[in-house]
Structure 1
Amino acid sequence: MTVGFDLDMTLIDSRPGIKAVYDRLVAETGVYIDTELVVTRLGPPLDEELANWFPAERVPEMSERYRALYPAHAIEPTPAMPGALAAIDAVRAAGGRPVVVTAKYEPNARMHLDHVGIRADLRGWLWAEAKAEALLEWGASVYVGDHVGDVRGARTAGALSVAVATGPCGADELRAAGADVVLADLTEFPGWLADYTSAAA
């Protein structure tokens, strides 16, 4: 059994680190960015967010600068979400393989996993339906995420969509998007997985 996990607001609380990087962009460019607002809607690719604050022709340059600033400003302040490490351990204890599929730039995503002590295979730069590419390649039967885009990715891959209401999308919105299971957070995941695997057996 392979279980996929999203990264931002599923396994890690990336709000403090992402805000710090956007604050640096503001300081460097003088362009107004509502960094408090930005961290309430994490999930979609970086370029989509930057397009709210910069003209289209500057987005590639700002994306590059953001990713360059990221390691020094975003890794250290970013903690694991409650229950994240236990959720990964629960997959392994059940004889499964945890994998991480995220829209984040892969080298930065790897630094986050190393920082919080999560060992898992990783694919980055995949958003929403595109996440199915890695989920299908790895044969994931479950995908856990916090965003309606994660639900779409799971469904595109034919995987069970397990949603956690820890990100920008509430439980009702996740259910409406087609999530098969909605948990309050990852602390509920080991219990759910135990029930799921015993039912499957």
Structure 2
Amino acid sequence: MARMTSRPLTVGFDLDMTLIDSRPGIHACYRALAERTGTYIDADLAVTRLGPPLEQELRHWFPADEIPAVAEAYRAMYPTIAIAATPAMAGAHEALAAVRAAGGRTVVVTAKYEPNAKLHLAHLGLDTDAVVGDLWAEAKAAALREHGAGVYVGDHTGDVRGARAAGALSVTVATGPCDAGELAGAGADVVLTGLGEFPEWLSAYLDAPRA
């Protein structure tokens, strides 16, 4: 199996809609937040545009001066409402296992609040070598470079931008709010239907001759 000798294999993964289907938990959390604050939130709509930071979604429903406090309330209620309601995406365990089987490391780099991201991974038994939260789009590049990730797997055009900013190969899965055409149009190097295709892709990638 051919490998790049200059950089050990490290694969970064996004979290929401890449490794986990966070729609049920986030939907329930938005409904609880609406009840708590007395402010209408269209939870059905909100879960169709997951990916960007929480504060970006809250701007659709709350005045700017209320957002810090509302975000804090959301994050505080999140563990008891959203964690148990959130399943792993099909192929998530197998994708992480494929990297480990190849002798590589995995790092989750996500816009989600880091403590809650770690709770999701622990609850679902998704074992990764590192977790970095609170980073979106190009800001993800710093963590990807720090951990030496040569590949970043995500579901959003923001993930493509993060991978490209880090000089990493952008591998995408069309399981989130962005379809295959949007991902390709944003400059993704690889577009997969879902993580179920990732182990085969990784095997072929590692077998390919390196310059």
Pair in the same fold by TM > 0.5: yes
Q: Where in structure 1 do 4 or more consecutive aligned residues deviate above 6 Å?
A: none
Instruction: Work out the CA distance in 1 between the residues paired with 2:195 and 2:209.
Output: 21
Q: Give me the whole-angstrom Cα distance separating, in 2, the residues matched to 1:105 and 1:4.
A: 17
Aligned letter for 2:107?
V
Code of the residue aligned with 1:150 in structure 2: it is D
- Over residues 12-69 of structure 1, what are the superposed CA-to-partner deviations in whole Å (9 max), with x where a residue is unaligned? 0000000111000111111111000000000000000001000000000100000000
Match of 1:124?
A: 133
Letter in 1 for 2:137: A
Q: Which residue of 1 aligns with 2:4?
A: none
- What is residue 162 of structure 2 aligned with on the other side? 153
Match of residue 78 from structure 2: 70
Report the 3-state secondary structure (helix = DSSP H, G, I; strand = E; otherwise coil) of the residue aligned with 1:140.
coil
SS of the residue aligned with 2:202?
helix
- 1:166 aligned to which of 175, 182, 194: 175
Q: Which residue of 1 aligns with 2:112?
A: 104
Any unmatched runs of 5+ in structure 1?
Answer: none
**Amino acid aligned to 1:90:** A
The code of the aligned residue for 2:73 comes to R
Partner of 2:204 in structure 1? 195
1:139 matches 2:116: no
SS at match of 1:44: coil
TM-score computed with the length of structure 1 as normaliser: 0.99
RMSD: 0.6
> Residue 93 of structure 1: CA displacement?
0.4
CA distance in 2, matches of 1:133, 1:197: 24
**Structure 2 residue runs without a partner (length 5+):** 1-8
Q: CA deviation at 1:79?
A: 0.4
1:183 and 2:197 aligned: no
Paired position in structure 2 for 1:2: 10
Shift of the alpha carbon at 1:110?
0.1
C-alpha deviation, 1:200, in angstroms: 4.1
Q: 2:22 aligns to what?
A: 14
Partner Cα separation in structure 2 for residue 38 and residue 102 of structure 1: 18
Matched position secondary structure for 1:194: helix
Q: 1:30 and 2:48 equivalent?
A: no
Whole-Å separation in 2 of the counterparts to 1:16 and 1:91: 28
CA 1:155–1:26 in structure 2 vs 1: closer, same or farther (change >3 Å)? same
* Deviation by residue 1:79-104 (Cα, 9 ceiling, x = unmatched): 00000000000000011101100000
Q: Compute the TM-score of the two structures, normalised by the length of structure 2.
A: 0.94
Q: Which of residues 82, 96, 100 is equivalent to 1:88?
A: 96
- Number of residue pairs aligned between Structure 1 and Structure 2: 201
1:58 alignment counterpart: 66
Q: Deviations over 1:112-141 (max 9, x none)?
A: 000110111100001000000100001100
AA matched with 1:91: V
